Amino acid sequence: MIERYSERDINALWDEYNRLKVMLDVELAVCRAWCEQGRIPEDALEDIIAHAHFTVERVKEIEQRTQHDVVAFVSAVAENIGDNGRYLHLGMTSSDILDTASSIMIRDTLEIIITALDELDSAVVDLAQKYKHLPCIGRTHGIHAEPMSLGLRFLNWHSEILRDRGRLEYAKKDISAGKISGAVGTYAMCNPQLEARVCELLGLEPAKVSNQILQRDRHAAVLNALALMGSTLERMALEVRNLQRTEVREAFEPFGVGQKGSSAMPHKRNPIKCERICGMSRLLRGYAVTGMENIALWHERDISHSSTERVIWPDAFNIACFMVRSMTKILRGLVVDETRVRHNINQTNGLVYSQRVLTFLLDELKLSREDAYAIVQENAMKTASSGVAFLDLLITDERLQGVVDPEKIKELFENDFYMRYVDEIFARFFGE
């Protein structure tokens, strides 16, 4: 991942040294399990543990000759151990160490992302509570629809984040699996008890069945969970972008001291942080597609998945974590113009109360739906074209004069009616 979008703690997990260190942890766990089964002498295990180390440079040097990364790694470690190095990698195939180590790294990375997502959710909940009773205009198709609560919009995000978190937790559980089953999954050179003990030492579950690799539906599930989370973040960022538009101006992402919006137009305050998140979500979806294409491999496996995973795993995790933390900063610094929010409800001269008027005519006057709809729509179109207040046109409509008390019509044009169940909806998440 380029430095611009890298997260230090994610990079620390996925840099070359740590990747090899986790592989060494797997190798040492196998040696310990073999020792417990009597295959490796105790003094040999002590010697292995004491002297098993490597340098990235030496591994790369050997790999130049062998053209095999795991062989190079095992050789680099074994040469530091000496004679007892022959016990290293005993009964294993390359994917035993690679896939088991990858499961550990992915599991630990997901834990970081889930923690970051919890921090984002906290910011969302704070906004939901703060603006719980602030009326705003709801929009469908980009057009003013009816009044709603601004806090309800944020609460909707909270609900989606909870689902994202659930998918990430499930993916973490699913990927927390190891395999030490040998070349094609038959345990010909090891045994299931060895695998079970190794996984226990590493905090993993042994795969119930594998071939030469852990099957890639597990990894695809991780990438799909990240892609879905990215789409949630895109949805949130897109909303802030729309609310920041000149014609709307209801909410703004943070704009730092000294920040510039345009090289040519000094007045610009562009939603670049939210736009960045929207763009990154496209990358995550692309990685998810690659993850799914990695599922189908030749027979017990090939390595067509391997080259892609070297790129997409660290990149996807960096991007996902960067997006979550960026969105948290945006929402912690979100500027909401409450005056503008209230003003925009009245931007259409009362048209947003049309459904309530329609329902009133149906209930109070017992009109047919066609007749009631015609009265409301005709006056609404006049308001839209002339700018005359919708309420004024209804009160002076000859079809309603003398039939409906004007005060009753006026009562339809208030926002509390649309807010009366907001507390009940919030109680579904936070109780009374």
141 is catalytic: yes
Q: Please say whether the beta carbons of 105 and 22 come within 8 A.
A: yes
DSSP code of 414? -
Strand, helix or coil at 146? Answer: strand
Q: How far apart are CA 55 and CA 47, in angstroms?
A: 19
- Taking a C-beta distance cutoff of 8 angstroms, is the pair 365, 404 a contact? yes
**Active-site pick, 159, 262, 304, 368:** 262
Alpha carbon dihedral 313, 316, 317, 319, in 10-degree steps, equals 150
Kindly give, in sequence order, each residue whose CB lies less than 8 Å from that of residue 320, ignoring residues fewer than 6 positions away: 113, 226, 229, 230, 284
Taking CA atoms, 395 is separated from 150, 379, 386, in Å, by 30, 10, 16
Q: Which of 141, 263, 307, 385 is catalytic?
A: 141
Give me the count of residues in the chain.
432
DSSP string, 257-268: TT--S-SS-TT-
b/e per residue 183-206 (b: at least 16 CB within 10 A):
bebebeebbeebbebbbebbebeb
Query: Annotated catalytic, 262?
Result: yes
* Contact of 341 with 150, CB cutoff 8 Å: yes
- Active site positions, annotated: 141, 262
